[in-house]
Amino acid sequence: MDAKPWRERVREEDELVEQLQRLASESAKRRAEALREGVDELGSVAEVARELGKSWNAVYNALKKQETRRPGGTGRATTE
């Protein structure tokens, strides 16, 4: 059995890394949308964080990160 040349293996791994980064980015967007829905339902980032057993800062940062990537962010990530 001949091993693939190292250049080909590196190229394949680079493609895999790009695919995984794309999947992680898409997942983060879907997660932020779900968190936004939680804020709409419960009224605040703090309430969503309590419900999930996470810090409000973790929830706020997840929302904020996606807001900065969306054109015309709504600013719905509040701590009230």
Q: Domain residues of the chain, as ranges?
A: 6-67
pLDDT at 74 over 70: no
pLDDT for residue 77: 46
- Token pair recorded at residue 74: 């709504």
Query: What is the arithmetic mean of pLDDT over 48-73?
Result: 88
- Distances in Å between the Cα of 8 and the Cα atoms of 16, 20, 42, 71 are 12, 18, 51, 38
DSSP 71: T
Residue 2's pLDDT band, with cuts at 50, 70 and 90, is confident
What does the pLDDT look like over 15-56, one tens digit per residue?
999 999 999 999 999 999 999 999 999 999 999 999 999 999
The DSSP 8-state label assigned to residue 43 in this structure reads: S
